[in-house]
Structure 1
Amino acid sequence: MEQKKQERQFTTLLTAHRRQLYAFIYSMLADHTDAEDVYQRCSMILWDKYEQYDSECEFLPWAMGIAFYEVKNFQRVLSRDRHHFSEQLLNQLFERIQSGKNVQNVQLTSLEKCLKLLRQKDLWLVQQVYWERRKCASVAQEMGMKINALYDRVGRIRSQLRNCVLRRVAEVDHAG
């Protein structure tokens, strides 16, 4: 029974951070196929090492540390291909990403708060277009509007969200 609980906890954490972890890996590889391969291998390694994970710490930084070494290992194997980053550049990218982690967390928190301020219809539209990745034509048809009108509305929502996030980040910067 303890094994099932551990599997559930791991799956919940990995699922919650999948996009961020994949984006981290992709930022160092710049190829979706390679990033997906490394992400899959990294997921297995994370599960193998999950017993070593300290639940008092955040999961994402721990997972990113393991992913970083898996990317380096992947790069070492493919080092003859001139299209891959050097180990030195990977180290620099990792340091920069780690130092920018707090900024990203502030931006994500701000975005979550800004999304809650949207009108229900606008939030639904964001969910359909960005989270569900539905085609704009089908969303426009469902809403009974022309595609260009939908594009305009999505653009206004994005602008509204961008401005809201920028204001909130600036507030945090002034407070900190």
Structure 2
Amino acid sequence: MLEKLAEQKNQESQFTKLLTAHRRQLYAFIYSLLADHADAEDVYQRCSMIMWEKFDQYDSSCDFLPWAMGIAFYEVKNFQRVSSRDRHHFSEQLLEQLFACMSTHKNDHSTQMLSLEKCLKSLRQKDLWLVQQVYWERRKCSAVAEEIGMKINALYDRVGRIRSQLKDCVRRRVAEVEHV
């Protein structure tokens, strides 16, 4: 009995670590197929529950993300089927093509994400705070501008420069990885 509880606790811990480590990538994958944050969040939550229910089928010698993306792909298709009355959804055929394309470019995406993380760490503290407020917290630019006492157009310009800086940094880092 105690062994079973310890095994279940270990499995819960392993699942939580894997899901937490890949949350952003999995959410980005789902969002790229749905293009709506509310729908993507709903599907992500359902996927998390399904993955937990099926976690005993997961082969720990394989990467977690492709396994999770496979479940997410079918859950997106299910979501699309249920909500097919809305004309703003991708066709099932297009979803399958996107999934195939994304699966083959998984390593490229991982390299880009790692590069982005390093580039974000190299930003000045003020610039990182702006990125967090605008992109991660999804605050309105007008509210952020007001909070820091900046005109909205100046904020747009600054955020645009930060994005360009990050884009250039990511390109350089990815190029360095590809040349190694």
CA distance 1:130–1:74, shift in 2 (3 Å):
closer
- Equivalent residue letter for 1:25: I
Change (3 A) 1:28 1:129: closer
Q: TM-score, normalised by structure 2?
A: 0.78
Q: Percent identity?
A: 79
Q: Which shows bigger deviation, 81-90 or 145-154?
A: 81-90
Deviation readout 1:109-161 (Å, 9 max, x if unpaired): 11111112111221222222222223323333333332222222111111111
- Gapped runs of 5+ residues in structure 1? none
The equivalent of 2:29 in structure 1 is 24
What is residue 92 of structure 1 aligned with on the other side?
97
Identify the residue that residue 135 of structure 1 maps to in structure 2: 140
Q: How many residues align?
A: 175
Distance in 1 (CA, whole Å) between partners of 2:100 and 2:51 is 21
Q: CA deviation at 1:60?
A: 1.2
Q: 1:79 to 1:174 in 2, by over 3 A?
A: same
In structure 1, which of residues 116, 120, 138 is the aligned counterpart of residue 121 of structure 2?
A: 116
- Normalising by the residue count of structure 1, what TM-score does the alignment of the two structures yield? 0.79
Residue matched to 2:20: 15
State the Cα distance separating 1:65 from its structure 2 match. 1.4
- Residue 108 of structure 2 is matched in structure 1 by 103
Separation of aligned partners in 1, 2:68 and 2:55 = 10
In the other structure, the counterpart of 1:54 is 59
Q: Report the Cα offset of residue 99 of structure 1.
A: 0.7
Displacement of 1:94 = 1.7
Matches of 1:156 and 1:52, distance apart in 2: 46
- Structure 1 residues 33 and 161, CA, compared in 2 at 3 Å: closer, same or farther? closer
Q: After superposition, what is the alpha-carbon deviation per residue over 1:15-44, rounded to whole angstroms, capped at 9, x for unaligned?
A: 332332233234334555654444333222
List per-residue Cα deviations over 1:81-130 (Å, max 9, x = no partner): 87655544333222111011111111111111111211122122222222
Q: Distance in 2 between matches of 1:19 and 1:135?
A: 21
Pick closer, same or farther for the CA change 1:169–1:87 going to 2, 3 Å. Answer: same
The root-mean-square deviation of aligned C-alpha atoms, in Å, is 2.8
Q: CA deviation at 1:66?
A: 1.8
CA distance in 2, matches of 1:82, 1:150: 35
Among 120, 126, 130, the alignment partner of 2:131 is 126
1:35/1:134 CA distance change after superposition, 3 Å: closer
- Aligned residue number for residue 149 of structure 1: 154
171 and 6 in structure 1: CA distance in 2 versus 1, 3 angstrom threshold:
same
The alpha-carbon deviation at position 78 of structure 1 amounts to 6.5
Q: Which runs of 5+ in 2 are unaligned?
A: none
Question: Distance between the aligned counterparts of 1:129 and 1:164, measured in 2?
Answer: 19
Structure-2 separation of matches of 1:122 and 1:31? 27
Amino acid at match of 1:64: M
